Amino acid sequence: MNATISRLISPLARIAAALAAAAGIASCGGGVSANPSPVVNDPAITILPATAVLYSGMPTTFVLSGGTGSYIVTSSNQAVLPIAGGVTGRSVTLVPSPVNADTVVTLTARDTGTATPVTATVTVRPGTVNNTVTITPSATQSSTCGAAICAGGDAEVRVTVSQGGIPLAARGVSYQVVSGDFRIIASGFGVTPEVLVTSANTTTDELGVARMRIRALPEALAQTALIQITDLGTGAFQRTSFTISQSGNAPLAALPNRISFTGPNTLSCATGLVADVIVFGGRPPYQITQPGSVAFVSPSVVSVSGGRFSVTANGGCATDASIGIVDTVGATTTVTVSNALGTAEVIPELIVSPLEVSLNSCTSRASVLVAGGTGQFFAAAGNGSLETTVDGSTVSIFRARPSTAPGVSSLQVFVSDGKTVRAVAVNLTGEAATGACAAP
């Protein structure tokens, strides 16, 4: 029995001894580790990209591999490309400092072991988006917003794209909304309806200047907004902040608040004359009402503070007709329109009808009607053989008595209002043309 137990225990003891020995070896630092580190067995280190072109202010990422997996990266020009020390992880992102000309910098990467260091050659070029971004609000917006853009207002964003001080003409530039209640105006100036987008592209002019218009949304509250401008040729970009002011604090107003049209003469009121009205303050957009028959308004909605509408006289005569203006919160104001007769005197055309009559005896009479002119009519015969009388608007023509035969078959009578003269032909036949007319 004891011999049997001894034979069973002996192999178990040998296995236990072997495990203890293995544990002892591990505890001395060789062989297997309970928590193995990510050791890379590849002795060569790589850095990608090995050559690169970087732009001032624009980040670029380098990827490291090989060696022990723990790296130290240094720069040959810390002022241009600052990096020195250990790298956490297998990549490092570097942002070059501003330079005035192309500058070559060498990056050196080594691990914590014995692998051979490697280098990357980097050319740092001047950034292409000028540091100065100018945002200029429209001159028509309310002065209460100061340098900020009024809610509903617009502004021009201007940036210079250059490299090493040389402007880059015909360069593609992108404008993008990063944050804030504003949009890029994609439509041309004065085009309605206005097209608003979150990003749009343009090109620089011959001086390297790129311009874009932006619109603060009418419902925007007071806030700081952020816009990004990107040079599409290099990918270099710049972000700039600006302020949007809630213009609703300013009272709703319109200028001018009174319009007076005057007609061309004493017979008619004005037609076709146009006056512009600027609306500001309150909370845009604004609804504009029509003033009745005296004039018509266009457009009927003004979308921004500082926007305008036109009032066109349509010939109707009126005194103090009202144009109502209402903003989105119900605030109202009015513009008064009058359209009056002119002061210039108008003389209508002098009309005489008929312009040809006949007499066939010494006692026959012919009549013509006169209208228009000054209203005061006169008539005179061009020959002593005829006489005329004027009764209101009727001119009577007859042979003078006594008179001799005129010797002609046609004479003239002249009718006038003191300013204009019309000639009436008088045809003589029979006794009126050949005989002498005795006194009545």
Please say which residue of 214, 249, 284 terminates a domain: 249
Q: Which helix (H) or strand (E) holds 433?
A: helix 431-434
Residue 377 sits in the same domain as residue 426: yes
Does residue 178 form part of some domain? yes
Q: What whole-number distance in Å separates Cα of residue 55 and Cα of residue 127?
A: 5
pLDDT at residue 120 is higher than 90: yes
Residue 134 sits in the same domain as residue 243: yes
Largest Cα–Cα distance in the chain? 194
Neighbours of 329 (CB within 10 A): 9
CATH of the domain at 407: 2.60.40.60
Of the pLDDT bands very low, low, confident and very high (cuts 50, 70, 90), residue 130 is low
> Which residue matches tokens 């109202």?
332
Does residue 346 form part of some domain? no
CATH of the domain at 283: 2.60.40.10
For residue 247, the model assigns a pLDDT of 61
Residue 257 sits in the same domain as residue 317: yes
pLDDT at residue 21 is higher than 60: no
CATH of the domain at 94: 2.60.40
Residue 387, token pair as written in the block:
């006489």
Does residue 154 form part of some domain? yes
DSSP 142-174: -GGGTTSEETT-EEEEEEEEEETTEE-TT-EEE
Please say which residue of 125, 158, 177 terminates a domain: 125
DSSP three-state, residue 97: coil
Residue 120 sits in the same domain as residue 195: no
The range of the structural domain enclosing residue 94 comes to: 45-125
- For the segment 271-283, the average pLDDT, to the nearest whole number, is 90
- For the segment 215-242, the average pLDDT, to the nearest whole number, is 89
Q: What whole-number distance in Å separates Cα of residue 281 and Cα of residue 322?
A: 20
HEC secondary structure over 11-52: HHHHHHHHHHHHHHHHHCCCCCCCCCCCCCCCCCEEEECCEE
Q: What whole-number distance in Å separates Cα of residue 350 and Cα of residue 347?
A: 9
Residue 146 sits in the same domain as residue 242: yes
Does residue 14 form part of some domain? no
**More confident site: 108 or 15:** 108
**What letter represents residue 115's amino acid?**
A
For residue 158, the model assigns a pLDDT of 95
Does residue 11 form part of some domain? no
Residue 151 sits in the same domain as residue 66: no
CATH of the domain at 179: 2.60.40.1930
DSSP three-state, residue 347: coil
Residue 143 sits in the same domain as residue 172: yes
pLDDT at residue 4 is higher than 70: no
Residue 74 sits in the same domain as residue 96: yes
Residue 120 sits in the same domain as residue 151: no
Residue 133 sits in the same domain as residue 242: yes
Chain mean pLDDT for the chain: 85
Does residue 230 form part of some domain? yes
Q: What whole-number distance in Å separates Cα of residue 247 and Cα of residue 228?
A: 25
- For the segment 245-262, the average pLDDT, to the nearest whole number, is 84
For residue 41, the model assigns a pLDDT of 52
Residue 212, token pair as written in the block:
């874009």
Residue 318 sits in the same domain as residue 364: no
> Which residue matches tokens 């066939």?
360
CA distance between the termini of the chain: 192
For residue 393, the model assigns a pLDDT of 93
Virtual torsion, Cα 186, 187, 192, 196, nearest 10 deg: 0
Does residue 416 form part of some domain? yes
The alpha-carbon radius of gyration of the chain (Å, integer) is: 50
pLDDT at residue 293 is higher than 70: yes
Q: Measured between alpha carbons, how far is residue 121 from residues 60, 81, 348 in Å?
A: 13, 12, 93
Residue 318 sits in the same domain as residue 395: no
Sign of CA dihedral 215, 217, 223, 224: negative
For residue 37, the model assigns a pLDDT of 40
Question: Residue 265 carries which DSSP code?
Answer: B
Q: In sequence order, what are the residues at sequence separation of 6 or more whose Cβ sits closer than 8 angstroms to the Cβ of residue 185?
A: 154, 194, 195, 196, 212, 213, 214, 215
> Which residue matches tokens 């001080």?
165
Worst-scoring range by mean pLDDT, 4-8, 64-68, 193-197, 352-356? 4-8
Sign of CA dihedral 369, 372, 376, 378: negative
pTM for this entry: 0.43
Please say which residue of 197, 216, 249 terminates a domain: 249
- For the segment 76-95, the average pLDDT, to the nearest whole number, is 89
Q: In sequence order, what are the residues at sequence separation of 6 or more whose Cβ sits closer than 8 angstroms to the Cβ of residue 2?
A: none
Number of residues assigned to the chain? 440
For residue 10, the model assigns a pLDDT of 46
Q: What whole-number distance in Å separates Cα of residue 246 and Cα of residue 223?
A: 8
Number of structural domains the chain divides into: 4
Does residue 366 form part of some domain? yes
pLDDT at residue 9 is higher than 80: no
